[in-house]
Amino acid sequence: MKAAVFAAALCACAGAATAQDIILSNLPGSSSGTGSNLGVGTDLVDRTKAVGLTMGSESLDFVSLTALISNQGFGAPAPPTTLSGGIFSSVGGNPGVQLAAFDAVNIPSEFAPAEVSLSIAGGFTLQSGVSYWFVLDGPPVSNDLLWNSLASNAEPVPSGDITYDGYRFSSNGGGSWGSSGIFNGVRIEAIPAPSSAALLGLGGLVAARRRR
């Protein structure tokens, strides 16, 4: 009977530990009215933008990345377009190999700055101590897609022992990267990986039994 109660309590604790957490964010915030073009802009330059972090002592399952996005034409209506991207490894402090792709999101014509969330259908675990780049991109055709910066130009704040690694910007489709001081609106959310959640629940139960 005690074993059954203990197991049930462990499951309850593990479930409670999987609450969704913000691990890096500078949102909410209002748009500055400008930002970083994504994909091939109206000037036919292929731009890509990324924000990076290094995980702390705990592995987490990625839930979503929310970005402040707009699609407004300047002088002419902006046609519908597509927001894409993914999670990349870090090589020399820049995005390296794509590890997982975001599910593409359709952005309608004349879309005013608003929060748009991207996720990964198959899921992805952010491993403890590993650096990642979260890359946003647009289509390979002329478009007005913009990852808006904040009016305050506030940099994202990480949670716990996670480290914020800055922004990177490419104007040749990800062929080469440079640092950027434009702080685009972003929020990244994750939950404890199943093994971590179970260990947290077990630790709490053992401590409670010792007190009793």
Q: Where are the domains of the chain?
A: 20-192
Give the global pTM. 0.84
Which band of pLDDT confidence, cut at 50, 70 and 90, is reported for residue 206?
very low
For the residues of 9-48, what is the DSSP string, one character each?
Answer: HHHHHHHHTT--EEEEE--S--EEEEEEE-EE-TTS-EEE
- pLDDT tens figures, 80-90: 999 999 999 99
What is the pLDDT of the chain when averaged over all its residues?
A: 87
- pLDDT tens figures, 3-47: 444 344 434 444 444 578 999 999 999 999 999 999 998 889 999
Name the CATH topology of 20-192.
Jelly Rolls (2.60.120)
Assess whether pLDDT exceeds 60 at residue 1: no
- pLDDT tens figures, 107-121: 999 999 999 999 999
